Amino acid sequence: AQSVTQLDSQVPVFEEAPVELRCNYSSSVSVYLFWYVQYPNQGLQLLLKYLSGSTLVKGINGFEAEFNKSQTSFHLRKPSVHISDTAEYFCAVSKAAGNKLTFGGGTRVLVKP
């Protein structure tokens, strides 16, 4: 079975500052990794995914994440945040295409002016 831990439940950050959201996973098999964003009263939207290849993955809205197999981590970063990035961010894993997603508990990002 897989599990996902998001180490920070809330991250306050000032506008135009960088942000990093931490995600660690546990699995007995190889997994595929995802970051989703959830804006208030909306469903989840895919930010980026790691399936194979380069460990640095670029996504939408200026986000990127780095897969580190030895540390079983998939941390999300953005060099300069905007007010509109205020949302909840979820890290997720899947063991195969078409399989369920196993989510972490989420990190709430609050961008302050």
Residues that bind another protein (CB under 8 A): 4, 9, 32, 34, 36, 41-46, 49, 51, 90, 92, 94, 97-98, 100-106
Shortest Cβ 113–another protein spacing (Å): 26
Q: What pairs with residue 77 in β-bridges? A: 20, 64
69: Cα separation from own chain's centroid: 15
Shortest Cβ 51–another protein spacing (Å): 6
Nearer to another protein, 15 or 49 (CB): 49
Alpha carbons 88 and 9: distance in angstroms, whole number = 9
Nearer to another protein, 32 or 66 (CB): 32
Which residues does 56 contact at the CB level (< 8 Å), separation at least 6? 64, 65, 66, 67
Shortest Cβ 112–another protein spacing (Å): 22
Shortest Cβ 80–another protein spacing (Å): 27
Which residues does 102 contact at the CB level (< 8 Å), separation at least 6? 2, 3, 4, 92, 93, 94
